Amino acid sequence: MRRRAIPKSVGDVRFLLLTSEEDRYVFVAEWYDPNAALQRRYQLLFYPKDGSVEMYDVKNHRVFLRRTKYDALRKEDLFVGNKINVFSRHLHLVDFGDQYTARRLGSKKEKTLAMIKPDALAKMGSIIQAILDSGLTITMAKMVHLSRTEAMDFYSEHQSKSFFNDLINFMTSGPIVALEIMGDEAITGWRRLLGPTNSSVARSDSPESIRARFGSDGTKNAAHGSDSIASAARHDRIFDTSIHTNKLELEFFFPSSGGRGPRNTATFIQCTCCVIKPHAVSDGLMGKIINYILDEGFEISALQMFTMEKANAEEFYEVYKGVIAEYTEMLGELCSGPCVAMEIRGPDAPRSFREFCGPSDPEIARHLRPKTLRALFGKNKVKNAVHCTDLPEDALLEVQYFFKILDS
């Protein structure tokens, strides 16, 4: 074992006590410290042999986290551009820490926009599940209702086309779901999954594709994707290390410069709150859970992916503090990765949806009410697939917390 020098700059990764033979990956990670209102920068080391992590504070030249086993982080989570959770800190991986990591883990990771159109909203669970089953990852999601101005701005390239007015009328006829998806060659992969633009052609040429299964014609074709790699480039495809970003399309819905993008679709009327918990999102169950909710006859009138800071989770779960024995573990789960919040509507929604979710303990649910959400998708009392509003008087408050307070 040999000691390496403490780094003097971000690019210098010769630090900490390392075994030269031991495989490890190094990334530059950023974390926004809300208390100090500062963006803090770390070097993050991951040891695949035992799943342990280590962190070094770049600015203060000191060890921030000594090597500790952390089962929630996987090698598959490590790529530039991803946001990961390490002991309740949400880290943004902004660069590789050394050439070895870049060679081993640098790949063809790309981000692109997927958009579920108004005609396919009732099938959004199936489309989302198809995306996940294909190996792509959903990193952002938001249901919005485009104004005419927003739709014309997004489709400005087609302004001179004969179908432009019909396209704008269609895209403003109801809510859509915008998704940021990431994966190896995501642009090409998403186009392949979509199939030909015209749904009739898709049914003959690519019958398993999304447009073949859920589309009607060339406009009402279920989902949006860049027309080609060249089209993706036209949308200002940028290179950030190894990540290709369809910048303009993604920025339109998910602005990174402080803007909000199109507004969410929450109605705050006769509704209740459902949150797909991080473990279920990580396990690829998002589409299946959404399908099950829709099949039961409930309306999903708003949907958005959030990554909760600990302070937010404490505010949201405040009513359970000192009441539920698993409170601390519940906080940890809600902060462990992205969750998906939904506004649910239906007859007597708070009561009926809570019954549909089932008992909080999935084992009890499987015994007493085996067709409920938690019975089907839950693991234990903490990782029980979904949170739902317990008390009818809290339903509006919980929906407002996500769609008015956090989405601001």
SS3 (DSSP) at 388 = strand
For 32-70, what is each residue's pLDDT tens digit?
A: 887 888 889 999 999 999 999 999 999 999 999 999 999
Does 55 map to a domain? yes
236 and 114 share one domain: yes
Residue 13 belongs to domain with CATH number: 2.30.29.170
Does 261 map to a domain? no
95 and 77 share one domain: yes
Last residue of a domain, one of 75, 105, 135: 105
Nearest to 265 by CA among 402, 118, 116, 403: 403
29 and 119 share one domain: no
* Average pLDDT estimate for 80-89: 85
Does 262 map to a domain? no
φ, ψ dihedrals at 177, nearest 5°:
-120, 115
Distance of CA 242 to the CA centre of its chain: 20
Compute CA distances 368 → 104, 372, 389, whole Å.
49, 10, 20
Higher-confidence position of 15 and 155: 155
Does 396 map to a domain? yes
State the number of CA atoms in the 13 A half-sphere of 214 facing the CB: 22
116 and 244 share one domain: yes
Does 264 map to a domain? no
CA separation for the pair 56, 54 (Å, rounded): 7
113 and 249 share one domain: yes
CA separation for the pair 133, 129 (Å, rounded): 6
> Residue 83 is inside which H or E element, if any?
strand 83-86
Q: Residue 107 contacts by C-beta under 8 Å, 6 or more apart in sequence?
A: 79, 184, 242
Does 65 map to a domain? yes
175 and 114 share one domain: yes
125 and 226 share one domain: yes
CA separation for the pair 388, 42 (Å, rounded): 36
Task: Identify whether the C-beta of residue 170 lies closer than 8 Å to the C-beta of residue 219.
Answer: yes
Q: How confident is the model at residue 403 (pLDDT cuts 50, 70, 90)?
A: very high
Per-residue pLDDT at 347 exceeds 90: yes
Last residue of a domain, one of 225, 253, 281: 253
128 and 99 share one domain: no
Compute CA distances 199 → 133, 194, 210, whole Å.
21, 10, 9
Please report the pLDDT score of residue 34 as a whole number: 76
Does 345 map to a domain? yes
Last residue of a domain, one of 253, 288, 309: 253
Please report the pLDDT score of residue 303 as a whole number: 98
Q: Could you list the residue range(s) of the whole structural domain that residue 172 is in?
A: 109-253
Compute CA distances 99 → 9, 57, 170, 285, 376, whole Å.
15, 20, 48, 35, 44
Number of domains in the chain: 3
Residue 366 belongs to domain with CATH number: 3.30.70.141
Per-residue pLDDT at 153 exceeds 60: yes
263 DSSP 8-state letter: P
Task: Identify whether the C-beta of residue 211 lies closer than 8 Å to the C-beta of residue 157.
Answer: no
Please report the pLDDT score of residue 123 as a whole number: 97
Does 303 map to a domain? yes
Per-position DSSP letters for 1-47, written without gaps between them: -EE-PPPSSTT----SEE-TTS--EEEEEEEEETTTTEEEEEEEEEE
Task: Identify whether the C-beta of residue 139 lies closer than 8 Å to the C-beta of residue 178.
Answer: no
Does the active-site annotation cover 224? yes
119 and 87 share one domain: no
Considering the candidates 61, 90, 92, 224, report the single residue annotated as catalytic.
224
154 and 206 share one domain: yes
The pairing of beta strand 83-86 with beta strand 137-144 = unpaired
226 and 297 share one domain: no
Compute CA distances 166 → 62, 162, 178, whole Å.
60, 8, 20
376 and 318 share one domain: yes
Task: Enter the pTM of the model.
Answer: 0.83
Q: How confident is the model at residue 227 (pLDDT cuts 50, 70, 90)?
A: low
As to burial, measured by CB atoms within 10 angstroms (0-12 exposed, 13-18 middle, 19+ buried), residue 295 is exposed
Given the structure tokens 């998002």, which residue do they identify?
Answer: 286
CA separation for the pair 341, 277 (Å, rounded): 9
